[in-house]
């Protein structure tokens, strides 16, 4: 975040501690001066909630200046984020984030698009776990993002969703994702252990007709086939075989039929 703010400060030629509305060129110098004098600590969201007369009184100017401040605050690009948690397994959590523009689109200020970054960071704020870039436009002001977060054996107390503009200082927000009530699926039982056996030859079919039929195509079973052969050929047990393409699953399926 610090590096992003420094980059924007250089680009905007503005100190990061200045009021964010100082970046809006439509405001008069007198309005900005009084805003810094009397409302320097007032957040954008607070300015939006006030009426022009209240804003004018706060900065000791007339209502016309108050309306200009309100218009600038409402046009200042910010987003709001909402989220849903969806555990995918005992150690993988999906955070579905809904991003929505919270400003009135003004092409004089935003041009053709407003780029934002959205990321999920750890509880301490030291590490960004995953991030996305979104481009808000006048006709596309909402986005749905999915963050798939691997988790360790201990579930943390929280994560934080951060949204920050690529252009505007002061246009950032954070949302704490509490994990106190999160219920993850239980850890599955251990996988079936590997058998200490060599690669099996086609003779394990113990059927001369089958051996003769398969020998032109296969003489030795590969590692996966050798491990599951007994269960597929000699038992009626259900068998789930998950393996890459071209790893010999079709042969095991035929073996089960035989």
And the tokens for 233? 């050929």
Closest CA to 75 of 36, 23, 28: 23
Domain residue extents for the chain = 2-75, 79-178, 202-257
Is the pTM for the entire model greater than 0.75?
no
**At 184, phi and psi to the nearest 5?**
-90, 150
Query: Under a CB-based contact definition with an 8 Å cutoff, are residues 112 and 130 in contact?
Result: no
Place of tokens 């042969």: 251
Instruction: Spell out the per-residue pLDDT of the chain, length 258, in tens.
Output: 778 888 888 888 888 888 899 898 888 889 999 888 898 888 899 999 999 999 999 999 999 999 999 999 999 999 999 999 999 988 999 999 999 999 999 998 999 999 999 999 999 989 999 999 999 999 998 999 999 999 887 889 999 999 999 999 989 999 999 999 898 888 877 777 888 999 999 999 999 999 999 999 899 999 999 999 999 999 998 888 888 888 999 999 999 998
User: In b/e form, how buried is each residue of 195-210, taking b as 16+ CB within 10 angstroms?
Assistant: eeeeebebebbeeeee
Residue 180 Cα distances to 57, 84, 94, 121, 156, angstroms = 44, 14, 16, 17, 8
List the CATH code of the domain at 79-178: 2.60.40.150
């Amino acid at each position: 975040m610090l590096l992003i703010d420094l980059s924007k400060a250089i680009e905007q030629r503005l100190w990061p501690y200045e009021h964010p509305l100082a970046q809006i060129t439509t405001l008069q110098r007198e309005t900005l001066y009084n805003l810094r004098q009397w409302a320097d600590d007032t957040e954008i969201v607070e300015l939006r909630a006030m009426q022009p007369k209240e804003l004018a009184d706060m900065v000791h100017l007339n209502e016309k200046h108050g309306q200009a401040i309100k218009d600038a605050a409402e046009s200042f690009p910010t987003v709001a984020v909402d989220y849903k948690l969806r555990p995918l397994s005992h150690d993988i959590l999906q955070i579905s984030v809904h991003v929505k523009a919270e400003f009135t689109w003004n092409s004089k200020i935003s041009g053709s698009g407003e780029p934002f970054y959205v990321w999920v960071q750890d509880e301490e704020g030291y590490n960004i776990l995953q991030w996305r870039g979104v481009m808000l436009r006048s006709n596309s002001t909402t986005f749905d993002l999915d963050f798939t977060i691997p988790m360790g054996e201990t579930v943390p107390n929280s994560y934080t969703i951060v949204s920050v503009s690529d252009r505007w200082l002061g246009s950032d927000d954070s949302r704490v994702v509490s994990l106190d009530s999160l219920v993850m699926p239980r850890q599955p039982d251990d996988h079936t252990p590997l058998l200490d056996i060599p690669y099996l030859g086609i003779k394990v079919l113990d059927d001369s007709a089958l051996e003769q039929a398969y020998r032109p195509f296969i003489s030795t079973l590969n590692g996966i086939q050798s491990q599951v052969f007994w269960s597929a050929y000699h038992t009626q047990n259900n068998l789930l075989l998950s393996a890459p393409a071209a790893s010999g699953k079709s042969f095991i399926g035929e073996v089960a039929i035989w």
